[in-house]
Structure 1
Amino acid sequence: MRRFLTVAAIVVTGTPALANDSVAELGTGGLVLARSDSISMESEDLFLSRDRVTVDYVFRNGTDKAIDTIVAFPMPDIEGNPNEVPSIPDDRDNFLDFEATMDGKPLTPQLEQRAFAAGLDVSADLKAQKVPFYPFGDAVSDALAKLPQSIADDWLARGIIVLDEFDDGSGWKTVRRPYWQLRSTYWWRATFPAGKPVRVSHRYKPSLGGTVGLNFYGDGKFDGEYDAYKKRYCMDADFEKAVRKAMAAPGPEGNSPRYESRLAYILTTGGNWAGGTIGKFKLTVDKGYPASLVSFCGKGVKKTGPTTFQMTAKDFDPERDIDILFLDRPQDLDSGKGG
């Protein structure tokens, strides 16, 4: 049993809690140019899987002069909320293991981080008390435990921290927990020569959401979050038929026959380039396990291998982000061998 205490004068909202045994995915996308009115995106080759995201771009400066600008990769925001369970691949600053190249040469991006509580920048407060910005792990817990009481009271009143009260079997404990939001961005300065193509590639390990069982199907029928899932993942009749068949099969050791994995990719920032479209766009989705089911929104999607699906488009206008739903057999996940 546990409860979390905040001060009523400050209202901080979070996303709705998911079902039991669930973790929430963090939506991540591609690159953003500080100046884009003269630089077009000639092509984007996007590969999405549970293990990695890779993006290969070709940009072109359409002017007769070189353009110096900033290229940024916004990391997903992390909410230091003890009521939420985000999926974070790593516990260091580069928690997505992000890396990038430009014309084949490795880049060393700078990392910009800020902490916010109740909409206000509290980075200076955390720095002054030598509290790590990353809101999870032993380092931040130890730092918060050492705060002077007057500082802790102030941070509680401002919504920077909450008090986590719980009974661990030896009596009630009160622990200070982070409640700020961490915003992280990798960025670097780049030169785009006049009239020449520039190739930029980056890769990272995605944040995956997951649920033991299904949030949209139970007791032999579609219910729960079915309407939201159908819209978000474009579930069609063939997919729903496959779900019924899969969920009718017995699960191993009494477990659900299928577990959910969810991946979110923010694609709409692709409309920020000159012209607002992507000249040539290719999307490849790898579901990882041959027996897994997958559903996502796309036009003209074709199966290209035992686990891969692909769509291509010209003058592509990224009007919506990409959300992918994987339904896996527990025994495949336990084996750890996809593809």
Structure 2
Amino acid sequence: MLRTILTAALATMAAPAFANDSVAELGTGGLILSRSDAVAMQSEDLFISPEKVTVNYVFRNNTDKDVSSIVAFPMPDIEGDPNEMPALPEAQSDNFLGFEVTIDGVDAKPQLEQRAFALGIDITADLKAQNVPLYPFGDAAKAALAKLPKDVTKDWEDRGIIIEDTADDGSGMQTAYVPFWQLRSTYWWRSTFPANKEVHVSHRYKPSVGGTSSVSFFSEGQFQSPQYDTYKTRYCMDQTFENVVRKAAKANPDGYPKYYESRIAYILTTGGNWASGTIGNFKLTIDKGSPKNLVSFCGDNVKKVGPTTFEITAKDFYPERDIDILLLEPSDNGGNGG
């Protein structure tokens, strides 16, 4: 049996916080295959929207021997920092992106491997010894920390595992110890690519959508650098997009465009290490959600195929950059879309 390893790229790419009203997005990605001349990616159909990400692959083992594989899907690393809460679709669950996968139409049952770290040191055993859940943002972890013996609390605070935090819980300002560790999570399962046959693999999850309650790159009647320069490069904002922003600002007596930002990051460049290194047939569909939303992203030969959808197709495609999507959503239900 030939052996190889499949892994999924889900690297953490938290966007910089522009203000206290910003929430960072976590970059997500798709399956990649460790270098192998046996399994080729015949096609990839990628769909991205604010509500869901779906990826449908067709792999083919071009050899006369079966390929036995471990398939892994690393979730993005998350930091238990009360001051830097990322956008988590399933905030109380270990499966915080709602990840699911099927192989040839059959639901796979992936196992979840989790490890916790503080200052780069593995503290998984420490947490388990005190019955503290590894997931740092769940209510269960906070409740377990409240029951820790005083000597353990002091030790963990000294080691950077927990920190003291003061916040209003609805009954006034309260001080409690909260998680400060990093969680690394990976879903994995075993799979076989039969000789000279296709295998259809599909996975889906809810994206981590970052946001800002205003347009961070436009104020006082003009685009503001360096934020504007960063966005221009990252999202390829064109003249039409910018003109709509200017028009919205002029229409508002306060002089700022009545939109708020949403941001989605998809890691695409980690792919390409399967047989031939390219995707035979690649299709990307981006859905901006509402016809009134503005959308900007980088790509060649983009076609608008519906009121809210845009499409890119390519043959023998090799990904050279990641996909970063900027959405401007009307804050007053106005806007013309674009």
Q: TM-score, normalised by structure 1?
A: 0.88
Give the corresponding residue for 1:239.
241
State the Cα deviation string for residues 131-165 of structure 1 (Å, max 9, x = none): 11111132111111111122222212221111114
More displaced stretch, 132-141 vs 185-194: 132-141
Give the corresponding residue for 1:322.
323
Give the Cα–Cα distance (whole angstroms) in 2 for the partners of residues 82 and 142 of structure 1.
15
> For 1:209-220, what aligned pairs fall within 5 Å after superposition?
209-220=210-221
The DSSP-based 3-state class of the residue aligned with 1:275 is strand
The DSSP-based 3-state class of the residue aligned with 1:270 is coil
CA RMSD of aligned residues (A): 2.5
- Alpha-carbon deviation of 1:310? 0.5
The DSSP-based 3-state class of the residue aligned with 2:270 is helix
State the Cα deviation string for residues 83-139 of structure 1 (Å, max 9, x = none): 202110112111111111111111111111111111122111111111111111321
- Does residue 1:279 correspond to 2:266, yes or no? no
> For 1:289-304, what aligned pairs fall within 5 Å after superposition?
289-304=290-305
Give the Cα–Cα distance (whole angstroms) in 2 for the partners of residues 167 and 106 of structure 1.
42
Give the corresponding residue for 1:65.
65
Give the corresponding residue for 2:250.
248
Kindly indicate whether the alpha-carbon contact (under 8 Å) linking 2:219 and 2:256 is maintained by their aligned counterparts in 1.
no
The DSSP-based 3-state class of the residue aligned with 2:177 is strand
Kindly indicate whether the alpha-carbon contact (under 8 Å) linking 1:134 and 1:140 is maintained by their aligned counterparts in 2.
yes
Q: TM-score, normalised by structure 2?
A: 0.88
Kindly indicate whether the alpha-carbon contact (under 8 Å) linking 2:44 and 2:283 is maintained by their aligned counterparts in 1.
yes
State the Cα deviation string for residues 152-188 of structure 1 (Å, max 9, x = none): 2221222111111458899974311111111111111
Give the Cα–Cα distance (whole angstroms) in 2 for the partners of residues 18 and 78 of structure 1.
19
> For 1:86-97, what aligned pairs fall within 5 Å after superposition?
86-90=86-90, 91-97=92-98
Give the corresponding residue for 2:10.
none
Unaligned runs of 5+ in 2: 1-13
The DSSP-based 3-state class of the residue aligned with 1:272 is coil
Give the corresponding residue for 2:5.
none
Give the corresponding residue for 2:112.
111
State the Cα deviation string for residues 270-311 of structure 1 (Å, max 9, x = none): 223222221111100000111111001111111111100000
Give the corresponding residue for 1:147.
148
The DSSP-based 3-state class of the residue aligned with 1:159 is coil
Unaligned runs of 5+ in 1: 1-13
Q: Which amino acid aligns with 2:178?
A: R
The DSSP-based 3-state class of the residue aligned with 2:134 is coil
Q: Which amino acid aligns with 1:25?
A: E
Kindly indicate whether the alpha-carbon contact (under 8 Å) linking 2:219 and 2:255 is maintained by their aligned counterparts in 1.
no
More displaced stretch, 304-313 vs 25-34: 25-34
Cα distance change, pair 274–142 in 1 and its aligned pair in 2 (3 A): same
- Does residue 1:182 correspond to 2:178, yes or no? no
State the Cα deviation string for residues 201-249 of structure 1 (Å, max 9, x = none): 1111111001111111112111051111111111122211122123333
Give the corresponding residue for 1:4.
none
Cα distance change, pair 332–97 in 1 and its aligned pair in 2 (3 A): farther
Kindly indicate whether the alpha-carbon contact (under 8 Å) linking 2:16 and 2:24 is maintained by their aligned counterparts in 1.
no
Give the corresponding residue for 1:262.
263
> For 1:128-167, what aligned pairs fall within 5 Å after superposition?
128-165=129-166
Give the Cα–Cα distance (whole angstroms) in 2 for the partners of residues 172 and 257 of structure 1.
33
Give the corresponding residue for 2:53.
53
Give the corresponding residue for 2:22.
22
The DSSP-based 3-state class of the residue aligned with 1:285 is strand
- Does residue 1:199 correspond to 2:167, yes or no? no
- Alpha-carbon deviation of 1:331? 4.1
Give the Cα–Cα distance (whole angstroms) in 1 for the partners of residues 315 and 121 of structure 2.
42
Cα distance change, pair 37–247 in 1 and its aligned pair in 2 (3 A): farther
